[in-house]
Amino acid sequence: MKDCALSVEELSKRYPRAGGFRRFPALSGVSFELDRGEILGFLGPNGAGKTTTIKCILGLLRPDSGVLAVFGSPPASPAVRARLGYVPENPDYDDSFTPLEYLSVFASMRGIRHSDEASRALLGRVGLSGWGGTRLRRLSKGMKQRLSLALALQSRPDLLVMDEPTGGLDPGARKEFRDIILEENGRGASIFLSSHILSEVETVCDRAVILSSGRVVASGSLDELLRSEDLWRIAYTRGGTAGSESVHRAGLQDRIDALRASGAEIEEVARHFRSLEDVFLTATEGAAR
Amino acid sequence: MTALPVLLALLVPMVTGSAAAPVQPSDEHLAGGSEAVELSGQEHHEHGAGERSDCTAWLFEQPWASPGQWPSLLLLSTILLALSAGILLVTGRHLRR
Amino acid sequence: MRRILAFSGMTVRMLARRRTIWGVCALTALALLGIGLIPSYGVASSGWFVLDLGMSAMELGGLVLAIGLGAGIFPRDRETRILLPLLAVPLSRGGYISGRFLGGAFVQIAMTLLWAVALMIVMLARGLPVPGGFLVSCALLGIEGCFLLSVVVALGFRVSPPLNAPLTFLGFIICSLGRQDFISLLPGAPGAMGLLWTALPHMAVFHVKDAIMHGFRVPPGFVLLAVLYGVSYTLLTLSLAYASFSRRDLR
């Protein structure tokens, strides 16, 4: 097996239908890998199976079939769990506790040394300076999300699994989260980022996997995904005016010849790059058909 | 194999209730013997403190007062502990697979 | 083990901040106060009467407390979604059950001790002697409370709190029946009912109040046996809860 942070092979999971005996497939043969030190974006429409995949990775769900390995070991093993950090989607906590109390208890449960100074520094890093002693019932949803990030970062994890971490955050907070993701990646952590926010994935991820109806419909490096196989862009100047146009590869040479014949000077011929939104919509709509 | 008869011998008293059989009043008791004081009518008696009689049978049938039941309780507890250990072992092994 | 203890400490803090526990505590304190105010004539002038009522109130208080502490633990953890980050990283499922139970058991025993002290104060205030073995009797009620808590916690993984409470209460009543009373529930099958009765936990094992009330000495060997009995049933209940919970998908 390749030495990667996370390896998922032919993962399948079926859920029972409410009130019926038949089970519907939530995941069907999902396979992908996350290399060490890489940031992988995990995309898909609602109900595509993203959270199911994450719960399988974390050992909260038992897959019906398939092989899952985190750093080459089963995800439930204590050694693996010690290297994991998890930021859940829309977290909520017992609101009678304070962020400092949560950090203290989680540190004890993880068996790591805990000091109030370190906890306060961590809270400062996620934007919760001055809120450490406030009961959670007085914190906003975004602040609880920040606490989740602090809890995940506390053990300096080698693999950070994030399920819609910036959902419900304002643009400023999203930027702070992105910066922290990049900092953690710079430290050497591998990041598994499930998100609906395509611009975020486009900004921070090295590779992306797109899921639709429980199947992987597209995957690869962002460069590969965004680069169009068929479309090319021709930049030219004619009579002192700059222009550009996109053409299919099949008609590329003819079009260049035609432009030259019309007196245009060709400046650049390059592959046409699509937006991640285009890629996402094409892949998921194609799968839906 | 010898364990089974021993097991049954210890558990059967709990099931059949022979270890905690209802206390039968003695003839002397029924006749209103020297230790009983008749108050009104033939059914009313008064006994000395801590004395076992048909009226105090419920007290003496409680587990703390029935040493005959104790080996069964001990055996049952041991079986339950072994069963718990078995369940934990099997579940742990199942999860590791 | 340190992880489980840290989590149980968190559970104690969580439970101590809930209103349920203080409500049960206040109700039981009121009951004990009421017992203290019973007019001193007739049978009420006897120490055993106050002791009998007081310890019965403690036992019922223990049952209600166990339900109040344990019934909402798992459903609430699921609802608030704290369960996912807990089980995803720092805790195993066995650690979760153990930590939550140990925290609840600590509160249960602390409350039983508090009630025991309150009952002692009531008795002393009325000029009644506190019999030897009183604390042992209360300790066994604490063990009974912990067993009931384990049942409530185990049921909590499968049923909602409104169903958990009546089921536990029904189980408590059935387990308080004597052999003959239990068999009389289904007189047509005395053998099967007798066998079932044997396998059921008997609350009577934890009851030594009648002994101390009437001046009998409870053999220390029996006290140890009762503790072992309670611990073994509690462990079995928690093991079954673990076996069921560990196979469960947390969707």
The residue in chain C having the minimum alpha-carbon distance to the alpha carbon of residue A52 is C251
Q: Using alpha carbons, select from C85, C140, C77 the residue that is nearest to residue C103.
A: C77
**Structure-block tokens of residue C131:** 């019999």
- pTM for the predicted model, two decimal places: 0.81
Q: Using alpha carbons, select from C71, C82, C87 the residue that is nearest to residue C15.
A: C71
**Structure-block tokens of residue A200:** 């975020």
- For C90, the closest of A91, A101, A106 (CB atoms) is A106
Partners of C211 on chain B (C-beta within 8 Å) are 59, 62, 64-65
Partners of B16 on chain C (C-beta within 8 Å) are 194
- Listing DSSP states for A225-248 in one string gives HHEEEEEEEEEEEETTEEEEEEEE
Q: What's the CA gap between B10 and B73, in Å, rounded?
A: 9
A211: DSSP letter:
E
> Quick check: C216 and B65 CB within 8 A?
yes
The answer for C 53-92 residues in CB contact with A (under 8 A) is: 80-82, 84-85, 87-92
Q: What is the pLDDT of residues C142-154, one digit of tens each?
A: 999 999 999 999 9
Q: What's the CA gap between A119 and A133, in Å, rounded?
A: 11
- Strand duo A6-16 + A65-70: pairing: antiparallel
Q: Using alpha carbons, select from A73, A26, A87, A77 the residue that is nearest to residue A211.
A: A26
Taking every pair of Cα atoms in chain C, the longest distance, rounded to a whole number of angstroms, is 63
> Quick check: A88 and C84 CB within 8 A?
yes
pLDDT digit of tens for each residue in chain A (289 aa)? 557 889 999 989 888 776 666 677 888 888 999 989 899 999 888 888 888 999 898 888 888 899 898 888 888 777 888 889 999 888 788 888 899 999 998 888 888 887 888 889 999 988 888 888 889 889 888 888 899 999 999 888 999 999 888 877 888 888 888 889 999 899 989 999 998 788 888 888 888 898 888 888 888 887 777 776 677 888 899 888 888 887 888 888 888 999 988 888 888 888 777 777 777 777 777 665 5
Strand partners, A70: A6, A73
Determine the Cα angle at C180 with ends C177 and C181, to 5°. Answer: 40
Q: Say if the ipTM goes beyond 0.85.
A: no
Tell me which long-range contacts C41-48 makes (C-beta under 8 A, separation of at least 24): C47/C123, C47/C128, C47/C129, C47/C131, C47/C213, C48/C213, C48/C214
Cβ of C207 under 8 Å from any chain B Cβ?
yes
Partners of C84 on chain A (C-beta within 8 Å) are 55, 58, 60, 86, 88, 91
The answer for A 98-127 residues in CB contact with C (under 8 A) is: 101, 105-106, 108-111
**Residue A203's CB: how many other CB atoms inside 10 A?**
16
The residue in chain C having the minimum alpha-carbon distance to the alpha carbon of residue B62 is C204
Residues of B with CB under 8 A from a CB of C: 11, 14-17, 20, 49-50, 59, 61-65, 67, 70, 73-74, 76-78, 80-81, 83-84, 87-88, 90-91, 94-95
C90-102 per-residue burial string, b: 16 or more CB within 10 A, e: under 16: bbbbbbbbbbbbb
Q: What's the CA gap between A58 and A41, in Å, rounded?
A: 17
